[in-house]
Amino acid sequence: MGRTSKAEQTFKDRYPFANVRATGGRVARYTVLAVFAGDYLCAEGLTRALAFAKAVEYDDAGIIQPDPLEERSEVH
């Protein structure tokens, strides 16, 4: 895995249980990734960095309101 983006670090500072999951969707050669805060879907993107950037953008705009302490309930 590469370096952590600033957006990913920012989001994980706000939501310590943030995680990324593949949605199963594909666009061209990319697998669509979804950012969750626990089990709360926050944003999707074609790369990890883009997904976290959208999540931070949505959080800053008040579009999403996840619980900072929500943990992921299912782990694969």
C-alpha dihedral, 47 to 50 to 51 to 52, nearest 10°: 120
Instruction: Look up the CATH number of domain 6-61.
Output: 3.30.160
Query: How far is Cα 35 from Cα 23, in angstroms, rounded to an integer?
Result: 10
The pLDDT tens digits of the residues spanning 22-63 come to 998 898 888 999 999 999 999 999 999 999 999 999 999 999
pLDDT of residue 24: 87
Domain boundaries, the chain: 6-61
pLDDT of residue 76: 57
Question: What pTM was computed for the model?
Answer: 0.89
